[in-house]
Chain A
C-alpha cells in the first residue's frame, strides 16, 4: 500500500504499524514525534497503530534553529 510519509509517497507493507515502520526506517523512537492524518500518535500507541492506504504521516525531530531567519527549512506540509 502507499502512504504519504513526510510529504512523499512511500510504498510500505499492508497494515504496517507505526512501530514497525520506524524500525524499518531505522529511526530511534525516543527522539521523534509522529502525526497521522494530523492527529498525534502517542509513543505508547506505536505498536498498536496500523496504517491504512493513503495515510499521511509526519515524523519529526529536533533540528538546529533559534531565532531562525531566512532558511526556515522544511515545514509541515498541508
Chain B
C-alpha cells in the first residue's frame, strides 16, 4: 500500500486510530491498551495539578511523549471562554500546538455546542494553535470550521461514551464531500465493526476512548480496533462491489454435467 500516512497541518500520523486515555483501571492498563492499539496519537485532558497529594503518579510517566503524539483536549468545557483558556494552557504546557477543541453544550447528551466551538476556534487559530474541532455530524458546521482555518474536522458518530456506532453515515459522507480536509470520526463508536464502517466510508481516522476502556478486556479490544481500522481502510482503498438486489453466480455455467 506504500505510505498511507495521514498528514494534518504538516504533521504526519502513522496510525489512523487515535485513542483517549480516560476511564482505565490504572495507568498501567492505559499504557498496555495504547500499546495494543498500535496508535501513535493519544488524547489527554488538562486538569488542575493535585497540590495536596504530590505522590500521585503522572500519566506522562506511562505514556512517553517521544513515542506518542500528545493531543490535549478541552473535554469538560461548557463555554468558549473555558475552552480557550484550557487550550492555551495546554499549548503552554506543551509538547505541541495541536488541540482537540471540545465545547460541550449539555451535560445529559454531551453534544457539542457548535456555535461556541466556532467562536473558540476563531480565537485559538489566531493564537497559532492547530485546532481539531469536535462537532455534530453537520456538513454546514464542518464547512464553517474549515473556512476559518481548521485543518481537519471531528464529527461525532454518536453521543460520547454511548457506543452506538455511526448513527448517520450519510451525513458523514456529505461532510467528506463538503470539505477538503481530513475527517476524523470522534466519539460514539462501540466496537471494531463500527470503526471498520467509518473507515470504509472513507473517513481519515477514528478517535475513541470508552469503546476500549469499557470493554471487558480493554487490551484485546484495543487490538481489535487496530485491525478494524486497517480492514476498513483497505476495503475503502480497494473499492467495494456495488450492492445488487438479485444473486449473481460466481461459478461458470459452462462445463456443468448434464449439459
Q: Which A residues are within 8 Å of any B CB, using their own CB? A: 5-8, 10, 25-27, 31-35, 38, 40, 42-43, 58-76
Contact = CB atoms under 8 A, between A and B. Distances in A.
Interface string B3-40: 00000000000000001111110010010000000000
7 contacts: A8-B51, A43-B92, A64-B44, A65-B76, A66-B44, A67-B75, A76-B86
A74 B86 CA distance: 12
B51 A70 contact: no
Contact of A63 (B46, B54, B77, B89): B46
Interface size class of chain B, counting residues whose CB lies under 8 Å from the partner chain? 35 or more
Contact of A74 (B19, B23, B48, B70): B48
B110 A60 contact: no
Contacts, number: 143
Contact of B75 (A5, A66, A76): A66
A76 B76 CA distance: 10
A62 B86 CA distance: 11
Q: Nearest 9 CB-CB pairs, A to B?
A: A66-B20, A65-B45, A66-B209, A69-B161, A72-B76, A33-B93, A68-B75, A33-B92, A33-B89
A66 B49 contact: no
Contacts of A58: 48, 89
B220 interface: no
B47 interface: yes
Given A31-B60, A75-B82, A67 B20 contact: yes
B89 A66 contact: no
Contact of A66 (B19, B47, B70, B77): B19
A35 B161 CA distance: 31
Given A33-B92, A75-B77, A69 B210 contact: yes
Nearest to A70: B161
Given A33-B93, A60-B48, A67-B22, 19 more contacts: A5-B51, A34-B92, A40-B88, A59-B51, A64-B21, A64-B23, A64-B45, A64-B59, A65-B20, A65-B43, A65-B75, A66-B22, A66-B75, A66-B208, A66-B210, A67-B160, A67-B210, A72-B76, A73-B47
A67 B42 CA distance: 11
Contacts of B194: none
A75 B22 CA distance: 15
B207 interface: yes
B22 A68 contact: yes
A51 to B, nearest CB: 15
Given A35-B85, A66-B207, A67-B160, A60 B54 contact: no
Contact of A31 (B45, B58, B76): B58
